[in-house]
Amino acid sequence: MHFNSIEILFVEDSTDDAMLTIRALKKSGFANNLHHVKDGAEALDFLYCKGVYSLRNKNEKPRLILLDLKLPKISGLEVLKEIKSNPESCSIPVVILTSSKEDPDIQKCYSLGANSYIAKPVESDNFFNVIKEIGLYWMVLSQLPN
């Protein structure tokens, strides 16, 4: 896969949630340059061009990161903390897309610099609409720094 044109880095360990989200993004026209990883360690390797991603162009950053909180290896909170505390990645918008509606999780994510926090809707029609709106806002409407 050519990693230099990735626009969305999608970090999700649940196969079912990943398939549903990717299908919704494709249906909305926002999945052409999407890269899906299944744990926090792989997300950080991708962002900082380590391990299997060592040949990826470090200057090519995703335009958006969709991040689940409950991840194997390194939690979503730790990934968020690393992204937002690192000058190389702090300007990349991070949207938390998780099943947790717990106030402490929401508070912690915003305190670490999350750009948005969205609880995954259970009903698939609502889920498709939420994903479509995420894509429209962050990929089309929002003006991001270069």
Per residue in 73-125, pLDDT (tens digit) is 999 999 999 999 999 999 999 999 988 888 999 999 999 999 999 988 767 67
- 3-state DSSP call for residue 64? strand
Q: How confident is the model at residue 14 (pLDDT cuts 50, 70, 90)?
A: very high
43-58, pLDDT tens digit by residue?
999 999 999 999 998 8
Residue 137 DSSP one-character state: I
Copy the structure tokens of residue 98.
Answer: 């998780």
What's at 128, amino acid-wise?
Answer: F
pLDDT at 71: 96
pTM recorded for the entire structure: 0.89
What's at 2, amino acid-wise?
Answer: H
The count of other CB atoms within 10 Å of the CB of residue 32 is 10
**99 and 127 in contact (C-beta within 8 Å)?**
no
How far apart are the C-alpha atoms of 11 and 79, rounded to whole Å? 10
For 13, residues 6+ apart whose C-beta sits below 8 A from its C-beta are: 38, 39, 68, 70, 71, 72
Q: How far is CA 64 from the centre of its chain?
A: 6
